[in-house]
Structure 1
Amino acid sequence: MKIIALGLVPLLGGCVMAIGNTEGGKPVAIERETISYETSPCFGTCPVYMVTIQPDGRGTFEGKRFTAVSGVRSFQATPAQYRAFAAKLQPYRPAQGDRLLQPGQPGCGNAPTDMPSVEVRWSELSGASQKLSYYYGCGAADGGRTGEALRGAISELPVASYIKAG
Structure 2
Amino acid sequence: MVKAILAAIGPILLAGCATIPSAPKAPDVITYATEPCFGRCPVYRLTVSSDGVAVFEGKANTLVTGRRTFVVKEEEYQAFKAMLEPHRPVGERIIRPGSEECRNAATDHPGVDIRWATEDRSDHLSAYYGCDMDLNRDMYEALMRAPYELPMTIYIGQY
SS in 2 for 1:138: coil
Q: CA RMSD in A?
A: 1.9
Structure number with the higher strand fraction is 1
**In 1, distance between residues paired with 2:45 and 2:116?**
14
- Deviation (angstroms), 1:142: 2.0
CA change 1:104–1:37 in 2 (3 A) is same
Aligned residue in 2 for 1:117: 111
CA change 1:134–1:79 in 2 (3 A) is same
1:47 paired with 2:42, answer yes
Aligned length: 135
Identity percentage of aligned residues: 44
Amino acid at match of 1:137: G
- For normalisation by structure 2, the TM-score amounts to 0.78
CA change 1:39–1:109 in 2 (3 A) is same
The 8 Å contact of residues 101 and 108 in structure 1, kept in 2 or not, is answered as yes
Aligned residue in 1 for 2:14: none
Structure 2: 5+ residue stretches without partners: 1-23
Aligned residue among 56, 71, 74 for 1:61: 56
CA change 1:119–1:143 in 2 (3 A) is closer
The 8 Å contact of residues 139 and 146 in structure 1, kept in 2 or not, is answered as no
- Deviation (angstroms), 1:116: 0.7
- Deviation (angstroms), 1:35: 0.3
Structure exhibiting the larger radius of gyration computed from Cα positions: 2
The 8 Å contact of residues 107 and 141 in structure 1, kept in 2 or not, is answered as no
SS in 2 for 1:153: helix
- Deviation (angstroms), 1:44: 1.3
- Deviation (angstroms), 1:40: 0.6
- Deviation (angstroms), 1:139: 4.3
- For normalisation by structure 1, the TM-score amounts to 0.75
- Deviation (angstroms), 1:125: 3.9
The 8 Å contact of residues 53 and 69 in structure 2, kept in 1 or not, is answered as yes
Aligned residue among 75, 96, 101 for 2:95: 101
- Deviation (angstroms), 1:77: 0.8
Aligned residue in 2 for 1:136: 129
- Deviation (angstroms), 1:110: 1.4
**In 2, distance between residues paired with 1:90 and 1:139?**
21
The 8 Å contact of residues 27 and 51 in structure 2, kept in 1 or not, is answered as no
CA change 1:32–1:57 in 2 (3 A) is closer
